[in-house]
Amino acid sequence: MALYYWLALLLLGWSTVTAQKDWWESASFYQIYPRSFQDSNGDGIGDLNGIKSRLPYLKSLGMTAFWLSPIYPSPMADFGYDISNFMDIHPSFGTLADFKQLVEEAKKLQLRIILDFVPNHSSDEHEWFKKSVQRVSGYEDYYVWQDPKPGTERDPPNNWVAAWYGSAWEWNDERKQFYLHQFHKKQPDLNYRNPAVVQAMKDVLRFWLDQGVDGFRIDAVPWLFETVGFPDEPVSGHSTDPLSQNYLTHIYTLDQPETVDMVYQWRELMDQYKQEHNTTTKVLMTEAWSSLDVVKTYFNDSNNRQGSQMPFNFQLIMRLDQNSKASDFQTVINSWLDIIPPGHTPNWVLGNHDKRRVSSRMGGDHMVDIMAMIELTLPGITVTYQGEEIGMHDVDISWADTQDPAACQLTEETYQEGTRDPARTPFQWDSTANAGFTNASVKPWLPLATDYPLVNVKTQQESAQNSHIKVFKELMNLRGTNTLIWGSFKSLVLGENVYAILRSFPNDKRTYVVLANIGSKSEIIDATKLDNSLPNELVFRVRIGRNKQHSFTALRSRGFGQPCNSIGAAALCIDRCFLYVGGCAIV
């Protein structure tokens, strides 16, 4: 038979588990990009009331919490990551009162809220920056200011380049100095060597904790500090363009030791708030596209000082693509598990608002369910970007329709190299005009995918056939079992394109077996390579694939069902993916 994606489960009895995990340690988080989730007032832009109306959907998926990309006042030079007031709501999204209602409704559904915290920079329209430009007392050093290079009238102080493109320095004619901006020139970097800035940003965290949020995702962590003295960075040899980020090796502008300490300080604030208010744990997630050696320092230090509970794991995004083999999956997954300190929890991120969607990145629609089954049966925490559960794909956005500032600063010939718009298009709720995202007569802020009449929540939920959302929900239901919460983890490479996961938990007396063929054709494996301790009978729980010959319900040990073309009792031919339960299987 062909190798689909299987999860097998054999129900052999239940046991009571007395130990407890904190709420976040087995949580499933859902990332919402507010502009694109649900428009409630007919302006073509998603908002807080729209999100509130869709909270039952998140609950139906089995989510524990949702994370909101920035909702603060902003000139929108970077769609909310250029913040002009850290303690309010952008009018496009609603009001602070709307946010409080969102929190209340979420709590009723036992959903927790995580906010984006953008500490590296503000908008150049923030009052702090205006006062710093004017050298108002107390604000002179709120930002990173430098004189021109010695001996020049207006040359930047060094060769640093911004993450987007061009010099990281912008001249301010009023102050007669350059300010540092690691991103857009309208996003001046805050100066974390100034204690007043450190305290001001801690006050921001406390403000939102007082509004009822359950934690923060910290944006762009590696850029918080720069080396004192501002030396030139060495040339990397990876680019011939001196204005490209790849032109330099960023040893003075990224991953400085003080950055890790700052994260630890924020964690101390979270823990202190919990004690002061006798409330639940407040969670820190950190975004750092850094090496594993750097990322692991965010968990804790040698003195057991605690940092981020969730340094985001981007390995599935950074290191896997449509050309990856089963051995690559095993290497990437194990490399992350290997750095997790004792007492800490792994997390798995498949996509976000800055990267290509799973379907587009991994080679097509057939990989959506396979990647979901792998992610959702791995040990620890999962993070799902809106739309991945229905298999949304990148949308080709024309130059005329492009909104992403990172792309708009490029040219019509090169904008697709930097655009993030394709993964940010409006959510597809149903097959009506504008996919139920906004009114039929309204133009959404970004164009919709042309296939939304088929790829949407309502159509997939009502389909008589298997669908992405049905597979996703079945997997989410299984994530609540003791085996997937507490069980051991083992992975196997059973062929060039066949990756297997075994999860077992003695107290629960069940094992889950996932068999995933990530290739484009059927592949025969030797079933004897699977764990000899598996029971004689495995039962399909979730199957991905439409081949009728795989509709059997029982799998026997060694052969796991009928052999493919009589190749032998210990052989299994795999087409896509199955999940068994184990005793049980997911098919």
Catalytic residues: 219, 287
Residue pair 533/544 in contact by the 8 Å Cβ criterion: no
How far, in Å, CA of 492 to CA of 506, rounded?
20
Phi (first) and psi of residue 59, to 5 degrees = -65, -40
3-state helix, strand, coil in the chain (%, to 5): 30, 20, 55
Nearest CA to 99 among 50, 62, 39, 56? 50
Indicate if the alpha-carbon torsion angle 521, 330, 544, 434 is positive or negative: negative
Residue 218: beta bridge partners? 117, 286
Give dist(CA 122, CA 181) in Å, integer.
10
Q: Which H or E run contains 77?
A: none
Two structure tokens written together for 20: 């407890």
Question: 271 is written with which tokens?
Answer: 């823990």
Task: Reduce the DSSP state of residue 278 to 3 states and report it.
Answer: coil
DSSP state of 35: G
How many other β-carbons are positioned within 10 Å of the β-carbon of residue 23?
A: 15
Whether 468 contacts 369, CB under 8 Å: yes
**Other CB atoms closer than 10 Å to residue 482's CB: what's the count?**
16
Report which DSSP code applies to 448: P
Q: How far is CA 125 from the centre of its chain?
A: 29
Q: Six-digit token pair at 443?
A: 């133009």
Element (H, E) at 208: helix 195-210
Q: What 3-state DSSP class applies to 464? A: coil
515 DSSP β-pair partners: 6, 578
Reference 424, options 32, 108, 10, 13; nearest CA is 32
